[in-house]
Amino acid sequence: MTATDLPPSLISTLPGAAYTDPQIFAREQERIFESMWFCAVRAAELDAPGVFRTVQVGRESALVTRSRDRSVKAFLNICRHRGARLCTTESGQVKRAFQCPYHAWTYGLDGKLVAAPNLTGMPDVDRTTYGLHPVHVREWLGYVWVCLAEKPPSFEEDVVGAATARLGDPEAIGHYQLDELAVGRRVRYDVKANWKLIVENFMECYHCATIHPELTEMLPEFAGGYAAQYYVGHGAEFAEEAQGFTVDGSPGVTRIPGVSAEQDRRYYAITVKPQVFVNLVPDHAIVHRMYPLAADRTVVECDWLFLSDVVESGADLDRSVELFHRVNVQDFDACERCQPAMDSRAYARGGVLVPSEHHIGDFHTWVADRLRD
């Protein structure tokens, strides 16, 4: 069956194998996650020279750290001698350098090889040539973005342009001062589902009335199913009786001062391909980053960002966090419910998209184009 065999109001989804086949997943890792800008780490986590985080980017482990000159650097987390993984923990801090646990080759925070035992009698080892393999780095919205491609695509077009186009006004995202906000809460979700199921779910609100009672109460237009998160560039208005974006409609915390009158009492959602979703409300921002680990497994790290004064004051953030935490759990449960069926003969040719989901078809075309030679 092809899209043309279906009535004009319905178009087909990707076939089930697109969500389970390890070869397709490997190609996605190469063509998408290792080729595009990837939002890796909250920059403020790297709060001193030598503090590092390791993150899975496509099939590679990247080591992101702060160097002596306070700039952020990223490398492939692989020793140039015989290939041992350099840092084996997800986060940590080294004093002056990274030392390989195998034969003790030692690399400065700028990636240069600074020492290697027993090299006497060997020709000079070039310290840059045998330094760590560098990875491109940018900072934006308070996050460190990395790109493994030799020649990265334009950050301005692919990341900044894509994110700001969604809000119409290129200045609008700046009002939320994301780079100055502090992480009030972080939850990591280990989702047993293919990353595309998670993206597709984020792109539509056809499911909102069924699975998101708290969210539709807060944002009544979501109950209609057409206000896909992907398409709320105009901002979805809070329910009249809601005092804040909280699980029970109670007042939230101090509003971000830059937020305009037009942005007040509204919820905006932005998708930055391939793995970031940003939600903006007047007193906080919610940033999701996906780390696809296998065809059927994706870790999603979600940060709730508030004014740093609010976080430092120890204000109660629970009701603000609880609303979207519930939404996340509801969404990821739905994705996990679909994942096992992707292997079923019933889904071998995929399913269908109703009119309010048609834009998911554009996402499928985008994926297919990236994978094509």
For residue 84, the partner it binds in ligand FES, Fe ion, none, with Cβ less than 5 to 8 A by kind, is: ligand FES
Does the footprint of Fe ion cover residue 331 (CB under 5 A)?
yes
| Nearest distance from C-beta of residue 104 to ligand FES, angstroms | 6
> What is the closest distance, in whole angstroms, from the C-beta atom of residue 37 to Fe ion in the complex?
25
Distance in Å, CB of 308 to ligand FES, minimum: 39
Partner that binds at residue 81, options Fe ion, ligand FES, none, CB closer than 5 to 8 Å by kind = ligand FES
Minimum separation from the CB atom of position 209 to Fe ion (A) = 10
Give the C-alpha separation, 364 to 197, whole Å: 11
Pick the closer one to ligand FES by CB: 46 or 100: 100
The least distance separating Fe ion from the CB of residue 199, rounded to whole angstroms, comes to 12
Nearer to ligand FES, 77 or 320 (CB): 77
Q: Which is nearer to ligand FES, 106 or 308 (CB)?
A: 106
Residue 100 interacts, among Fe ion, ligand FES, none and using kind-specific CB cut-offs from 5 to 8 Å, with ligand FES
Select the binding partner of residue 79 from Fe ion, ligand FES, none (C-beta < 5 to 8 A, by kind).
ligand FES
CA distance 59 to 30: 8
Contact string 65-94 vs ligand FES (x = CB under 6 A)? --------------x-xx-x----------
Q: Cβ 192 to Fe ion, closest distance in Å? A: 17
Beta strands across the sheet bearing 134-140: 38-42, 143-147, 134-140, 72-76, 60-66, 51-57, 91-93
Q: Binders of ligand FES: how many residues, by CB under 6 A?
A: 9
Question: Which of ligand FES, Fe ion, none has residue 103 at its interface (CB below 5 to 8 Å by kind)?
Answer: ligand FES
331 binds, among Fe ion, ligand FES, none (CB under 5 to 8 A by kind): Fe ion
As a whole number of angstroms, the distance between CA 257 and CA 9 comes to: 45
Of 38, 105, 238, 304, the one binding ligand FES (CB under 6 A) is 105
Q: Cis link prior to 274 (omega < 30° from 0)? A: yes
Considering the complex, what minimum distance in angstroms separates the CB of residue 168 from Fe ion? 23
200 binds Fe ion (CB under 5 A): no
Nearest-angstrom CA–CA distance, 167 and 269: 8
103 touches ligand FES by CB under 6 A: yes
Residue 283 Cβ, how far from ligand FES at the closest point, in Å? 47
Burial of 82 (0-12, 13-18, 19+ CB in 10 A): exposed
Site string for ligand FES, 201-230 (x = CB under 6 A): ------------------------------
> Between the CA of residue 355 and those of 39, 200, 338, 358, 361, what are the distances in Å?
31, 14, 20, 5, 10
- Binding segment for Fe ion (CB under 5 A), chosen from 52-60, 233-241, 305-313, 329-337, is 329-337
**CA 143 – CA 303 distance, rounded (Å):** 11
Q: Give the shortest CB-50-to-ligand FES separation in angstroms.
A: 19
Which positions lie near Fe ion, rule CB under 5 A? 331
Q: Which residues bind ligand FES (CB under 6 A)?
A: 79, 81-82, 84, 100, 102-105
